[in-house]
A and B are shown apart, each in its own frame.
Chain A
C-alpha cells in the first residue's frame, strides 16, 4: 500500500470494488493487470483522490470515524489494508454491497464482522474450512451472486417481509408481486386473488430453501404449494373440507371477532370460549407453519403473526386514512389487530368515504365493539355449512358457501378474482383471471373442469362459452425486446414456425423466442394480428429475456407504431442485475417496477452450441482467415488516456458497450452471433481520434454488452469499400467485469451523460431523412 499525499493505491477485493465504484466520480479506478493464476486473487484498485475526498469517504464508510482531515490518507490506507474492517465498514454503506450482505446474513444490524460472514457462508454451503480470507471473500461474493444473480425479476404488488423476500424471490418470478419496504408484508392491491393466495402459499410452503430448483412455471409452484398445504393441513386421513379453509381462511382464522354492543353476557361468554378455541387453533396453525419453515427463516412467533396479518391488511391505506390503534383483544389476551375509527362519527363524510373504501376490500369487515366503537377487522368465522350449495352464476360469479372444500376453493380462486370473503366467498370470473389461469398452465378444459366441480351440472352455458372463449381466445405473443418476440402458446408457436407470418430472416433463438430483423416489426405485428395472435407491445408488459439473452431491461420506453422509443436519459436505469462481478440488486430500485413477467424459456441448446462453436471453432467464421495477418493492431483499452500500458490480451478479446439500444442491439448481437457476419465498430482513442475496427461478434454479455473476437483495424480507404453494415461507436473494455464496474458506477451515483449532443425537436433528423426530428425519429406515441 502506498500512501501519497494525493494518490493512493488500494488493494481490495471485488466487493470493495463494487462499493468503491460508487465513488467513481471522485476516484479514478485503474484496472490492475490480469492475474494468470487460476486461484482467487486480490486485485488492486488504484485511486487518485484528494485528501478531503478521502476524509469524506471515511466518513461515509465509518460513522465512528472522528479523525482529522489530514489523517485521512493514513486512516484510509489503514482501513483498506484490512479487508475485515473494510467489509465491516462497507456493510454500513447503503447500496448494493450492503444489500447483498444484509440479505445474506439476515442480520438486521448493519454491521457484520468478516468472521460472522464467513461462518454464514460455511453454514450455507454446508461445509467448513472455506479457506483463506481471500477465498472467503470470493466465495461470499459468488454466493451473493448465486442468490441474486438470475432471480430478481420480481414484479407486482405484494410486499414481502425482509426475511422472506430474499428466499422467495426465485419463486416469484413472473408473479404479480412486488417488494417495497423491507420489513412488512403488504398486499397493495388486494383484489387479486392470485397475490393473496400466493402470499399465503409462499408463507406456508416450506419450499423456499436456497437449494430448491428454480421454479419457472407458476403451475408448478401452485402444484407444489397445494401439495404442501395438503400436507400441512391434512396430515392424516382426515377428509378435506372440514378443517382450515386454506389460504383464504388464513385471514378469517385470525379471528378478528367483533362484539356487538349490548349483547348479553352469556353470548359474551360463548364468544370468549370460541375465540379462545380459535386462538388455540390459530396458534396451532402457526406452529405448523413454523415447523414448515426452513430453519434460517425461523422467526419469533409474534413476528410471523404480524407478517401474516400485515399481509392481509392494507396497512398503508389504513394508516393514511385513519388513525390506527392496536388493541389487545380481551378474550385471547393475545395479539389482535383492530383498527378503530375515532373519526367514524355521524355525518363525518371523510370517515364515510374511508369506510366505503375499506369495505371494498375483499377480506375486511367492519365490526362493533362492546363499547360501541367501530372496528375494522377480519370477518368473524362462520360455521361451515354443508347444506349450502356453491353456484356458478350466469353473470360470471362464483359463490362458495362456508366450509367449501378448501382445495376446491383454492382452485376456484385460481381462475377468478376475489370480490368478497365473508360468510360466503364471492369470486368473479374475468378475462384477466382466465388469461392468468391459462398462463399458469391451465387449459380451457381444466378451467371448465374446475367450474364443473364447483357447480356440478349447473354451470350456465353462457358462462362456459364465455370462459372457453377467453381461455382459447387469441393467443398472445409479446415483444420482450424491440425485436424479440416471445410466444408461450403451443399452438401459436406451431403457427409461427410455419414461417409465413414472420418476416424472412426471423430466427428462433429458443422455443417460442424469435429474433426479428430490424425494421420488420410493423409488418410482423400486422401479420400476427391477422392470424389472431395478439401482439402485446407495450413495454410495461414486456418481459425480460435476461434468462435467454442476458441483458437489461429499460424502465422507460415503449414500442409503438413508430418503432422503438426510449428515453436515453434513463437508458441505464437497469435492473437485470446478475452479471458475475456485477453489482448487487438494489432493492430500493426495484420498488417502482410494475412489469409482469412470465417465465422465459431456457435458451435453445442448439443455439448456444452454435454460439459456442463459433467461438471455439478452429475454423473461424468466414471473415477470420483473411484477417489473420492483420490482427496485430488490437483494440484499445477502456481508458486510453491513462498512462498504464494495456494488459496483454487473451480471448475473448473485448467487450463493447454501446450507448445504443433496442433494435440495433438485438440486430447486432443476436443476428451476428448466430450468422457470423462481421461488425464494424468505432472507438475513440485517447488522443481523440476515432479508429474503426472490424470485429467478429462472439455473443452478448449479461448486461447488453457485445463480446467479440479479435478484430482488425480498418483504414479509412478500406472503410469505404468494405460493406460492414452499420458502424457502431462504442466504449470498449477488456472484460465484462470492467464493464460491469463501469455500469455500476453509472447506475450508482454518477449520472449518465450523453456523449452526443441532444437533437432539438425542430432540428433535422440525424437519420438523414430530411424531416424534422420531431416528425421523424423523435416522434412519440
Chain B
C-alpha cells in the first residue's frame, strides 16, 4: 500500500500513535484520536498518543466500539496498520461491558456482578484475590458482591485486566438546594463556559440517574475546574464534600462557592486541623483525611468519620492525580456515593492511574491545554530558562560538595540569581510577578532584596490570604513564595513567574507552577527559570525542558553572564528582557 501522505497518523505496533501536526488532515485525525487515545506529549511537530487499555475503556464508556476505533485509525493512518493493533484494540474493547456491577434487587441484599466471560467466570471462585470479595455464585454468570467490597473488587478485577462497568447506582444523598448565581457576589456576570457545561452534562450523563455520577474531568490549570465542581454539585442539589490538596486551596473552594453559588456562609464549612465545621458544603484537605493517630499499619484514621458524618450526595476530589493512598482506601468503601475527580493530568508519578479509574471512575471529559489556550481560556505561556554562572566564590564549595542534595543546593542558591531576579522584576515593571523558590533561606533573602512580602510554610493562613487578596486587588505587585505556592492558589492576575529553584526535576511541580500563571489574562504569561550553568541544576532543568516542550510550550534558553557580556547563544531567542549587565554583587 502506498503511503497516504495526507494522513497525519503513524500507528506503531506498540500502540503508540504519532500525529504529524503539519499534515493536511491533522485536525480531523486529532479529533478522532482524542476519543480513544491519551496524549502523551505534544512537542512542536509530531505529537505522541498512546492507546492503552484504560484509554480504550474510557472510550468505551462513551459508547465507542472497536470497529469505530479501527476505522478511525485506518482512515487517518499514513501506512498500513500493524496487524496486532487491530487484534489488541478489539480484544481490549471487548472486555468493557463483560463485567457489569448491577444494583441489588432488594435493599440490603448484596450487589450482583454479571460476568459475561466464561474463562473468567470459571476462575473467579478459585482466584485467591477475588474469592474473598465475593459472597457466592447466584447463577453461572452472576456473582454476589457484598456492598463493602464494591471498590476493592473493581480494583482487583482491573488489575487482572478487566474493567467493571459499575451500574450499581448511588445513594441520592441528603438534599440541599442551591444553585449557581448569574451574577457573582463580586458583581461580575457569571455563566458556565461551554466546555464546563459540557463536562458537567457528561459527568451526570443527562440526568441524575444511576449511570452517571462518577468519573474524572480533566481540564488544564486555570480552565475553571472549581466551577465544574460547583456546577455538578448545584445540579445534583445535594450535600457535597470537597477534598482539596491544601488549606489555601480549600479556602479558595469556599470563596468560589460563596461567590458563584447561592450557598450562604452558614451552608459552608471547613474541615481541617484547626476548624472542624461540617456543613452541607464542606471542604476538607487530603492531609486531615489521611491523618493517622499512630504511624504504621495498626494506626487508625480518626477523620474517616467525616465521610459518615453526613449523608453526602457528592464527593469531589480536587487534583485527583495527587490523591494519597489512604484516601483511595476510604474511597474504596464509599462506592455508593457520587464522585467527581478533577485534575489537570491523569498522569500520576506513582502509576496509580488504574486506581483512579476503578475507584473514582473513568475519564469523562478532557480538553487539551493547547486548545484551551487557543480559545483564550487560559493564558499563553512562554518558558524561559536563564542560565547563570556560579560565581567564583561558590565554585570551590560546589566542586568539593558531595553529590546529590548538597551540590544541588549550592547550585540552586547561586547568589547571582538574586541579581537576575532583580533584573527580571525590573524588566517587567507594571506586571504582577510571583517569585517562587524551594529553599526558604533563599526566598527570604530574595524577599528582603525585592522588598516584597514573603510567604512560606510558616506564614499563617490568614496572613497568606491577606497577601493573596492584596495581590489580586493589585495592591501588591510582587509576591515571594516558597513551596507553598505550588498548589491551587488562584492568583489570576499573575502573569510572570520567576522560579529561582525547584524540587530537582519534578514534572508535576513544573506543571503546577506553570499552572499558577495560566489563568486567563491579557497577553502572554512568562515563566522564567533561573538555572546555574554547568551544574547539576542544569541537568534537572533538562527534565523541565522536556516536560514543557512535550506539553507544547515554546522553550527558550538565554545565557546571561555576570560581566554583562552575554555568552553568545547558538541562536539567540527573541529577547523579551534585553540581556542586562548584572551589577557587581555587593558583599
B571 touches A464 (CB 8 A): yes
Contacts of A448 in B (CB 8 A): 570
Contacts of B83 in A (CB 8 A): 258-261, 263, 367-368
A462 touches B2 (CB 8 A): no
Which residues 527-560 of B have a CB within 8 angstroms of A? 534, 538-539, 542, 545-546, 549-550, 554-557, 559
Chain A 330-353 against B: per-residue CB contact (8 Å), 1 yes, 0 no? 000000000000000011010010
B45 at the interface (CB under 8 A from A): yes
Chain B 1-35 against A: per-residue CB contact (8 Å), 1 yes, 0 no? 11101000011111010101010000000000000
B562 at the interface (CB under 8 A from A): no
B162 touches A423 (CB 8 A): no
A379 touches B18 (CB 8 A): no
A424 at the interface (CB under 8 A from B): yes
B400 at the interface (CB under 8 A from A): yes
B91 at the interface (CB under 8 A from A): yes
Residue in A368, A383, A395, A465 whose CB lies within 8 Å of B549: A395
Residue in A367, A388, A465 whose CB lies within 8 Å of B3: A388
Q: Which of B74-82, B174-182, B428-436 contacts A (4 or more CB under 8 A)?
A: B74-82
A367 to B12, CA, bound (A): 11
Known contacts A367-B84, A395-B41; A347 and B120 CB within 8 A of each other: yes
Chain B 359-394 against A: per-residue CB contact (8 Å), 1 yes, 0 no? 000000000000000000000000000000000000
Which residues 544-587 of B have a CB within 8 angstroms of A? 545-546, 549-550, 554-557, 559, 569-571, 573
A772 to B557, CA, bound (A): 52
Known contacts A395-B549, A423-B12, A530-B399; A460 and B161 CB within 8 A of each other: no
B469 at the interface (CB under 8 A from A): no
Residue in B12, B45, B400, B573 whose CB lies within 8 Å of A420: B12
Q: Which residue of A lies closest to B23 (CB)?
A: A388
Residue in A360, A372, A387, A464 whose CB lies within 8 Å of B570: A464
A646 at the interface (CB under 8 A from B): no
A260 touches B13 (CB 8 A): no
B395 at the interface (CB under 8 A from A): yes
A367 to B160, CA, bound (A): 23
A396 to B45, CA, bound (A): 12
B44 at the interface (CB under 8 A from A): yes
Q: How far is the CB of B571 from chain A (nearest CB, A)?
A: 5
What total of chain B residues lie within 8 Å of the partner, measured CB to CB? 56
B188 at the interface (CB under 8 A from A): no
B291 at the interface (CB under 8 A from A): no
A405 at the interface (CB under 8 A from B): no
Chain B 144-171 against A: per-residue CB contact (8 Å), 1 yes, 0 no? 0000000000000001111000000000
B187 at the interface (CB under 8 A from A): no
Contacts of B43 in A (CB 8 A): 393-395, 397
B82 touches A388 (CB 8 A): no
Chain B 335-357 against A: per-residue CB contact (8 Å), 1 yes, 0 no? 00000000000000000000000
Contacts of A259 in B (CB 8 A): 83
B46 touches A391 (CB 8 A): yes
A353 to B395, CA, bound (A): 47
Residue in A383, A395, A464, A529 whose CB lies within 8 Å of B1: A383
Residue in A389, A423, A465, A469 whose CB lies within 8 Å of B79: A423
Residue in B13, B162, B550 whose CB lies within 8 Å of A367: B13
Q: Which residue of A lies closest to B18 (CB)?
A: A424
A462 touches B556 (CB 8 A): yes
A374 touches B84 (CB 8 A): yes
Q: Which residue of A lies closest to B41 (CB)?
A: A395
B residues sitting closer than 8 Å to A (CB atoms) are 1-3, 5, 10-14, 16, 18, 20, 22, 41, 43-46, 78-80, 82-84, 86-87, 91, 119-120, 123, 159-162, 395-396, 398-400, 534, 538-539, 542, 545-546, 549-550, 554-557, 559, 569-571, 573
A residues sitting closer than 8 Å to B (CB atoms) are 258-261, 263, 346-347, 349, 352, 359-360, 365-368, 372, 374, 379-380, 382-383, 385, 387-389, 391, 393-397, 399, 402, 420, 422-424, 431, 448, 458, 460-462, 464-466, 468-469, 473-474, 526, 529-530, 532
Known: A458-B45, A466-B557, A526-B400. 8 other contacts (CB 8 A): A346-B119, A365-B84, A366-B82, A383-B79, A391-B20, A394-B555, A461-B570, A462-B557
